[in-house]
A and B are shown apart, each in its own frame.
Chain A
Amino acid sequence: MLSALDKLMLEKVADLHEIPQGAFNIRRNGEGVQRNTTANIDIVTKKDKSGIDVIVKPYTKGESVHIPVIVTQDNINDVVYNTFEIGEYADVLVVAGCGIHNSGTHTSQHDGIHNFFVRKGAKLKYVEKHYGQGEGQGQRILNPKTIIDAEEGSVVELELIQIKGIDRTIRDTEIRLMGNAKLVVTERLLTYKDQEAESNITVELLGADSSAQIISRSVAQDNSKQEFNFDLVGRNKGRGHIQCDAIIMHNAQVHSTPKISAYHSEAQLVHEAAIGRIESEQLIKLMSMGFSEKEAEDTILSGFLK
């Protein structure tokens, strides 16, 4: 049912070598091709629009949901709406990801709109990997939108990774945190050639003692362009920290717009943004251990994006 190419794409976006354990839904070229549910995790096709509802029962522990999307044709514009209901005190891993293989001349595009409801005391780790390949002229475009409502005492960890092969991306992430909710976002981005990437993250600290940490690291090479717009809004007592770090190379451009907004006297918000080239001292250090300049550069970049 899945071709070798399909499997390669699955491996790239979901670290899947075989059909995953637990709940999963594999979507290929705009259609669901395989699905599995468990006693605690249900996946239901939406009736009003394209997409699925993933329902995790309260108190579900240690289970995972894989919902990879693969696009292996050109001239595809796939828009999908997925809703995730993470029940109270559940603890789950959700791995989404999109791989595009475009050998054609037309654009392949996938826009995933993901809506999460993380209920009271629940823990969610959400991993989203984007990967593109293919020799064709057709552009590979991914525009994900992620909206997360994190209820009281919940813990949300997000890993957003785009390392290779996506020509255009606009990533919108909106997160609202209620009391004592905790959020950690790690973003890793690499662009090269003429790629363009934009990441917009807005986090609102709505409940008391909520906390958010956003760590974004990116590398911009060749003629690529990156834009970051992060906004941390403190509407209650709480802490937030944005760390936005970019390595710029060649003729690339990086625009980083810091914004922190406080509406409460006990909101503590910090934004750090830095753009710079690889430090020459780092290169010299690795070269003085026997690495070539190229090896040193690759080592520094892969560590930075890890």
Chain B
Amino acid sequence: MLEIQKVSLEIEGKSGVEILKDIDLKFLDKKIYVITGPNGGGKSSLAKIIMGIYNPTSGKILLDGQDVTTMNITERARLGIGYAFQNPPRFKGIKVKELLKMAASFNPEKVNICDLLFNVGLCAQDYLERDVDASLSGGEMKRIEIATVLARNLKLAVFDEPEAGIDLWSFQKLAETFRNIHAAYDTTIVIISHQERIMELADEIILMSNGMISAQSERDIILAGILNNDACECSTKCEKGVGQNVECAG
């Protein structure tokens, strides 16, 4: 279980400008959580705090009761926390195959690299030997990024907007993939997403805005709330989304 206790994050050097305010959350074992809410609401910052990329200004983070607040990224990774980037970095001279092997190197179970690619909808034959560089499209990068997280045996995996840039790939497949890792490793999964199809996977949905948790509940309750909230008058022109009502106002 991952526990976030009264975590706040201020912009470096600007005290008083808070990105996260007093967040309290518990991610229970083997559950799927979706964090949603408007852009700039603090979702990605929270994900980065969990991975250790950002250090909280105050508050505590506990993994299975162990205080990991001051642990760096490597230490947290080795304890079983994983993170799929929203904008995955590219590597000149490193092949897809090599990156996935590196990702799997801490997994005690034997991982089949080709299966990993298949699970994210890529044909292994076409990708294994390619470099993880600018020659890959944004969507391909996102899928490979997800595969690097699938390669690991994790207690908790955080996916930052996994659906972005992979519109053509059926959400069905993505959803299936999340269910599969969940089943294979009992991984607790936290997904940051704006997509209703992804939210349908969740045991619980957490709604974040202005650096705070504005609602947290079982999927159906929140989903119903979100859908009802979708009463903006221009529904034919406006993407159904959360907290984007401002954009519809005109």
Contact = CB atoms under 8 A, between A and B. Distances in A.
B93 interface: yes
A172 interface: no
Interface string B47-85: 000010100000000000000000011100110001101
B91 A292 contact: no
B72 A286 contact: no
Interface string B141-163: 00000001000100000000000
B106 A289 contact: yes
A300 B85 CA distance: 18
Contacts of B72: 287
A265 interface: no
B138 interface: no
B73 A303 contact: no
> Which of A281, A290, A303 counts the most chain B CB atoms within 10 A?
A290
Given A293-B74, A299-B102, A288 B92 contact: no
Contact of A289 (B53, B94, B152): B152
B39 interface: no
B112 interface: no
Given A281-B85, A299-B102, A303-B98, A287 B73 contact: yes
Contacts of A286: 102
A170 to B, nearest CB: 26
Interface string A276-306: 0001011011111111110000011011111
A245 interface: yes
Nearest to A292: B74
A303 B91 CA distance: 8
Determine chain A's interface SS by DSSP, over half rule: helix
A193 B74 CA distance: 29
Given A281-B85, A303-B98, A289 B77 contact: yes
B103 interface: yes
A239 interface: no
Contacts of B89: 279, 281-282, 284-285
Nearest to B107: A290
B91 A290 contact: no
A304 B77 contact: no
B130 to A, nearest CB: 13
Given A287-B72, A289-B103, A290-B78, 4 more contacts: A217-B93, A291-B74, A305-B93, A306-B93
B141 to A, nearest CB: 11
> Which of B74, B94, B103 counts the most chain A CB atoms within 10 A?
B74
A87 B114 CA distance: 44
Interface in A129-150: none
Interface in B135-192: 148, 152
A300 B91 contact: yes
Nearest to A280: B89
> Which of A245, A279, A291, A299 counts the most chain B CB atoms within 10 A?
A291
B203 to A, nearest CB: 24
Contact of A290 (B53, B77, B92): B77
Contacts of A245: 92
Contacts of A304: 91-93
B73 A284 contact: yes
Contacts of A279: 89
Contacts of A300: 91, 94
B142 to A, nearest CB: 13
A302 B105 CA distance: 18
B137 to A, nearest CB: 18
A290 B106 contact: yes
Contacts of B78: 290
Contact of A282 (B51, B91, B105): B91
Contacts of A289: 77, 82, 102-103, 105-106, 148, 152
Contacts of A306: 93
B40 interface: no
Contact of B51 (A288, A292, A303): A288
Contacts of B106: 289-290
Interface in B70-129: 72-74, 77-78, 82-83, 85, 87-89, 91-94, 98, 102-103, 105-106
Nearest to B93: A303
Contacts of A217: 92-93
16 contacts: A217-B92, A217-B93, A282-B91, A285-B89, A285-B148, A288-B51, A288-B82, A288-B83, A290-B74, A290-B105, A291-B77, A292-B74, A299-B94, A302-B93, A303-B94, A304-B93
A282 B87 CA distance: 11
Contacts of A281: 85, 87, 89
B229 to A, nearest CB: 34
Contacts of B82: 288-289
A301 to B, nearest CB: 9
B46 to A, nearest CB: 15
Nearest to A279: B89
Given A281-B85, A299-B102, A287 B74 contact: yes
